[in-house]
Homo-oligomer: A and B are copies of this chain.
């Protein structure tokens, strides 16, 4: 188990001091799934929902969400995000799922996993909001980091990922 040096003895929550870390290019990709019904996925794909066009709205909300990460996650450091890409992909196999992936880049002292995860969850919540009038029982699920690069700990890819 990894043990970090910046531990506070009293166990109190604090924003870890990263000023000794190097400024390097960093990238993280996260992913999540919205699970609903196949007919709802069709309506997402066609933009035929009570609140209107779903995919563009989710993508933009996710990009904006990435920028709000330090406002939401108390111990996250503010970071100068240098790029965000989000894909919202309705399954065309009748599985009733929509896959969301987000890649965030920075040149900074800490990684951007939380920014990528926040982008995915905010995009997912936005989709949820747009379909909840037609499916109360949707589930936002399997939100995880799939790859990261840069920083001292180096590159990492989740097992089973291409």
Residues of A within 8 A of B (CB): 1-4, 6-8, 11-19, 25, 32, 39, 47-48, 50-54, 56-57, 59-61, 63-68, 70-87, 105-109, 113-114, 117-118, 121-122, 124-126, 128-130, 132-134, 136-145, 148, 156, 158-159
30 A–B contacts from the bound complex (CB under 8 Å): A12-B87, A13-B52, A14-B51, A14-B85, A15-B63, A15-B66, A15-B85, A19-B25, A19-B105, A51-B75, A52-B75, A56-B56, A57-B60, A61-B72, A61-B73, A68-B71, A68-B72, A73-B129, A74-B126, A75-B130, A76-B129, A78-B81, A82-B109, A113-B132, A114-B132, A117-B140, A132-B145, A139-B142, A140-B144, A141-B143
